[in-house]
């Protein structure tokens, strides 16, 4: 089961890379666009947290990141081609159920899933995210996301 999950996670990262890079006919390797410094958004409200996460995902290279006017029942706050993301602006650590639900939403949509949290994650949620390869980020009040696990570091560095 773990091998299946890891293979699925790797496939999703490759899908993300295809979405955010352009293939050049003169080279076999796709071109990764250069990016400048990330400009965070100060977090005062839950909408600010979602806006900060959206800006960070755009900075990572995901295009057309949108947030619905009202939060859907699935809990997914942000969508882009090849991506879904959830932002937990609560003051309690994000639990296992939320991480698993986002991962399942990503699997059903064949997209990369990313989770952002203001208060961090429970140990169970962190452990499961490592098993399934789900990138976890913690947002500080300045709006700067910090990677929590290896999948998030890979996503940030562009290495897949």
CA-CA distance, 69 to 88, in Å (whole number)?
A: 16
Q: How does pLDDT run across 45-75, given as a tens digit for each residue?
A: 988 999 999 999 999 999 999 987 776 766 6
What is the pLDDT at residue 140? 93
CA-CA distance, 89 to 78, in Å (whole number)?
A: 14
Residues of the chain with pLDDT under 50: 19-30, 160
CA-CA distance, 104 to 14, in Å (whole number)?
A: 18
CA-CA distance, 107 to 154, in Å (whole number)?
A: 19
What is the pLDDT at residue 102? 94
pTM here is 0.76
What's the whole-number average pLDDT of the chain?
Answer: 83
């Amino acid at each position: 089961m773990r091998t299946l999950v890891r293979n699925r996670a790797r496939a999703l990262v490759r899908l993300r890379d295809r979405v955010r890079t352009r293939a050049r006919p003169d080279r076999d390797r796709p071109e990764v666009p250069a990016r400048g410094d990330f400009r965070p958004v100060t977090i005062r409200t839950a909408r600010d947290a979602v806006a900060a996460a959206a800006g960070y995902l755009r900075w990572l290279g995901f295009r057309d990141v949108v947030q619905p006017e009202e939060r859907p029942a699935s809990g997914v706050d942000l969508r882009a081609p090849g991506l879904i993301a959830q932002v937990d602006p609560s003051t309690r650590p994000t639990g296992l159920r939320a991480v698993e639900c986002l991962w399942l939403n990503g699997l059903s949509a064949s997209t990369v899933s990313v989770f952002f949290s203001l208060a961090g994650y429970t140990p169970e949620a962190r452990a499961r995210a490592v098993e399934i390869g789900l990138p976890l980020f913690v947002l500080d009040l300045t709006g700067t996301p910090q990677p929590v696990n290896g999948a998030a570091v890979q996503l940030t560095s562009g290495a897949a």
